[in-house]
Amino acid sequence: MLCDDCKKNEATIHVTNIVNGKKTESHLCQDCANKKEHADMFKQLHQSFGQFPKFSNSGSFGQLGSSIFDNDFFNNDFFTNAVYPDGLLQDSHSQRCDQCGMTFDEFNRTGKFGCDHCYEVFDQEITPLVKRLQGSLAYEGRVPSRGTGVFKTRHQIKRLRQELNKAIKGEDYEKAITLRDQIKQLEDSLHKDAGAKTDESSAS
Amino acid sequence: MIDSILDQPLSQWQTEGTLDKEHIVLSSRIRLARNFKGIAFTNRDKEDALEKVDTMMRRVPSLLTKVDGKSYSDISLDKLSGIEREVLVEKHLVSPNLVEKVNHRSVIISDDGAVAIMVNEEDHIRIQSMAAGLNLTKAYERAVQIDDAIESTYDYAFSEKFGYLTACPTNVGTGMRASVMLHLPALAITGKLNRVVRSIIQLGYSVRGLYGEGSEGLGNIYQVSNQVTMGISEEDTIAQLNKIIEGLIKEEEKARQSIAREHSDAFEDRVWRAYGVLAHARKLSGAEALSLLSDVQLGIDMGILHMKSNAFFDKLVVITRPNFLSKYAGQDSMTADERDAYRAKVVRDALNIEQ
Ligand SMILES: [Zn+2]
Ligand SMILES: [Zn+2]
């Protein structure tokens, strides 16, 4: 007997299914059976993510315990169904971003914000949402170099501190001393900057 | 330059990069999502905002040339035919999402094809940087160079608390998606792929097919990418993904060894059968072509078959896609039947040259 799917190989796997009281039989070769199982698994994965996104911090990287398949993740009403408890939504129904006109209701429908200012207007709602989606609220990435000198320095210090901890754990004390000096230098420059700013504002 | 992008299956970066000899990792890619300060995001569909971003980005090609000496072309989607736009999607230069609308949508592509910046996609810009084989760091460094150049001229939407602000909260933070495209035929044949995919997903990474969700299994090609953009730096994300990919390569190698050890006769038969169909068939569907090409490539990797060029598989994966094929044939409209016949001919010719 030839395989139902490819009609080329000998069918070695025979499956009987009963759907709505109707019996169907399928005869597949090993290849086609593997393919089918594979497709079913992905279908299941996508479906289960659509309905019940699971978020946990317990993964070995302390991140999402589930997968978000980019754009399609937001296609259903998952914000209203799963991520956002009804109670939290009530207050912000009437609130509107004054830069782009977006309301939080609209965000709930589309899963997309309307502009950078939305992040300030809806900060109260966004903060727990990002925590749930991302498993963390601590920004650790790159920083634009323009107009954010103080922030950039603070970030650099944070990174160096992490390296310092690593060095100490690895008992690399020579490196630790260099890192400590670098951190101190940056901190001094930060204080100087802050001092200069205070002087300016008091003078004006 | 746009013509060579649309007519050549592979870009320069794909042919001159170093592919690993087993051909498991096909390419690495970094994507940075960025928006500009004070301008409504694309989803608001505001004409003035779309136009403003469009106009701002017109200055970017010359800006980038000043930084790296390479030339960049600015391609407005409304100047392309429908087929040409789909070819850009098939070559992974733009997302399907970008070509849904054409007004003020464009893509800035470097002459080596390794950089493609989408304008007015879900975010104002998405900087994409590609490298052959497993080389996320190389791709990241170029993306950062471009990011810096744009940021030196325009203010990005950025907050101390959330990092780079994006339309979708799943991208907020670094806005970075690092992904690696792999060919995993032996894991698929031995039935071990499902288990491996599950464990990667449990680590918080996504696994999708050649053309995203729904294309899983196509040609046994998979993309693995990070999901999280908060609480972790770009460098650490890349380091973790590298570890996962290295593990995945080992699993695929093990599966190949077990095929060679336990099923060498059956496998050799399978490879030659695939070769036979590709070399003689008069009609080939896109999915069938990819599945047979995958068998043949694995046969090459395992020393059963020999081809002249290293990029045989990568090239045919692109050539056999429906829109690229139509463009290749120089025809605007082909029926599915005509396409299947033309596809079989192109594959036959390619095999003749390779042998
Ligand atoms: Zn079959
Ligand atoms: Zn807004």
3-state SS, B257-270, equals HHHHHHCHHHHHHH
| Helical axes A173-203 vs A149-169, angle rounded to 10° | 160
State the distance from the centre of ligand 1 to the C-alpha of A55, rounded, in angstroms.
Answer: 38
Q: What angle do CA B27, B30, B57 make, to 5 degrees?
A: 125
Query: Does position A67 have pLDDT exceeding 60, yes or no?
Result: no
The owner of tokens 């999607």 is B89
Q: Do B207 and A159 touch (CB under 8 A)?
A: no
Task: Judge contact between B317 and B290, C-beta under 8 A.
Answer: yes
What residues have their beta carbon closer than 5 A to ion ligand 2?
A: A 97, 99-100, 102, 114-115, 117-118
CB of A165 less than 8 A from some CB of B: no
Domains and CATH numbers, chain B: 2-255 (3.30.590.10), 264-354 (no CATH)
Spell out which residues of chain B touch residue A64, defining contact as CB-CB under 8 Å: 204, 227-228
Mean pLDDT for A98-111 is 90
Q: Which of B172, B202, B207 sits opposite A130 (nearest CB)?
A: B172
Mean pLDDT for B277-302 is 95
β-strands B158-159, B72-76 pairing: unpaired
Query: Does position B303 have pLDDT exceeding 50, yes or no?
Result: yes
Q: Do B168 and A74 touch (CB under 8 A)?
A: yes
Using alpha carbons, select from B167, B157, B147 the residue that is nearest to residue B41. Answer: B167
Spell out which residues of chain B touch residue A148, defining contact as CB-CB under 8 Å: 158, 160
How confident is the model at residue A200, as a pLDDT? 39
**B19 band by pLDDT with thresholds 50, 70 and 90:** low
Q: Do A99 and B38 touch (CB under 8 A)?
A: yes
Q: Mark which residues 16-35 of A lie under 8 Å from B by CB.
A: 34-35
Task: Judge contact between B173 and B230, C-beta under 8 A.
Answer: yes
CB of A100 less than 8 A from some CB of B: yes
State the distance from the centre of ligand 2 to the C-alpha of A191, rounded, in angstroms.
Answer: 34
Number of alpha carbons in the 13 Å side-chain half-sphere of residue B340: 10
Instruction: Dig out the tokens for B244 from the structure.
Output: 């996962």
Spell out which residues of chain B touch residue A41, defining contact as CB-CB under 8 Å: 194, 197
B108 pairs with which residues across the strands?
B74, B117
How far apart (Å, rounded) are the C-alpha atoms in residues B92 and B106?
Answer: 14
Rounded to two decimals, the ipTM of the complex is 0.87
Interface test with B, best of A10, A49, A112 (most B CBs within 10 A): A112
pLDDT in tens, A27-65: 888 888 877 777 776 665 554 443 323 333 333 332 333
DSSP letter (8 states) at residue A61: T
- Ligand with minimal distance to A123 CA: 2
How far apart (Å, rounded) are the C-alpha atoms in residues B94 and B85?
Answer: 9
Query: Does position A191 have pLDDT exceeding 60, yes or no?
Result: yes
A34, B96, B214, B271 from A43: Cα distances, Å: 14, 20, 8, 29
Query: Does position A161 have pLDDT exceeding 90, yes or no?
Result: no
CB of A69 less than 8 A from some CB of B: yes
Query: Does position A198 have pLDDT exceeding 80, yes or no?
Result: no
**Sign of dihedral through CA atoms B344, B346, B350, B352?**
positive
Mean pLDDT for A112-132 is 93
Using alpha carbons, select from B98, B228, B169 the residue that is nearest to residue A135. Answer: B228
Type of residue numbered B62? S
**Sign of dihedral through CA atoms B97, A75, B321, B303?**
positive
How far apart (Å, rounded) are the C-alpha atoms in residues B329 and B52?
Answer: 38
Supply the pTM of this predicted model.
Answer: 0.79
How far apart (Å, rounded) are the C-alpha atoms in residues B252 and B69?
Answer: 39
The CA R_g of chain A, rounded to the nearest whole Å, is 27
CB of A161 less than 8 A from some CB of B: no
Instruction: Dig out the tokens for A177 from the structure.
Output: 């001393």
Higher per-residue pLDDT: A29 or B39: B39
- Ligand with minimal distance to B43 CA: 2
Spell out which residues of chain B touch residue A60, defining contact as CB-CB under 8 Å: 203
Using alpha carbons, select from B185, B42, B12, B11 the residue that is nearest to residue B105. Answer: B42
Task: Give Cβ neighbours of residue B34 (< 8 Å, ≥ 6 apart).
Answer: B123, B124, B125, B126, B127, B147, B150, B156, B157, B164, B175
**Weakest mean pLDDT among A84-98, B96-110, B197-211:** A84-98
What residues have their beta carbon closer than 5 A to ion ligand 1?
A: A 3, 5-6, 9, 29, 32
pLDDT in tens, A16-28: 776 667 777 888 8
> How many Cβ contacts (< 8 angstroms) between chains A and B?
187
Q: Which of B162, B193, B202 sits opposite A119 (nearest CB)?
A: B162
Q: Do B216 and A35 touch (CB under 8 A)?
A: no
Share of chain A residues as helix, strand and coil, in percent rounded to the nearest 5:
55, 10, 35
Query: Does position B297 have pLDDT exceeding 90, yes or no?
Result: yes
Interface test with A, best of B42, B44, B144 (most A CBs within 10 A): B44
DSSP letter (8 states) at residue B118: E
For the beta carbon of residue B76, count every other beta carbon within 10 angstroms: 15
State the distance from the centre of ligand 1 to the C-alpha of A175, rounded, in angstroms.
Answer: 61
- Ligand with minimal distance to A101 CA: 2
Query: Does position A82 have pLDDT exceeding 60, yes or no?
Result: no
Q: Which of A59, A126, A136 sits opposite B203 (nearest CB)?
A: A59
Number of alpha carbons in the 13 Å side-chain half-sphere of residue B145: 16
- Ligand with minimal distance to A8 CA: 1
Where would I find the beta strands (DSSP E) of B22-124?
25-34, 72-76, 106-110, 115-119
The backbone region for A182, taken as left when phi is positive above 0, alpha when psi lies in -120 to 50, beta otherwise, is alpha
Instruction: Dig out the tokens for A191 from the structure.
Output: 């204080």
**Weakest mean pLDDT among A29-43, B172-186, B300-314:** A29-43
Mean pLDDT for B285-310 is 91
How confident is the model at residue B188, as a pLDDT? 93
**Sign of dihedral through CA atoms A167, A169, A174, A180?**
positive
pLDDT in tens, B105-123: 999 999 999 999 999 999 9
State the distance from the centre of ligand 1 to the C-alpha of A34, rounded, in angstroms.
Answer: 9
Mean pLDDT for A98-109 is 90
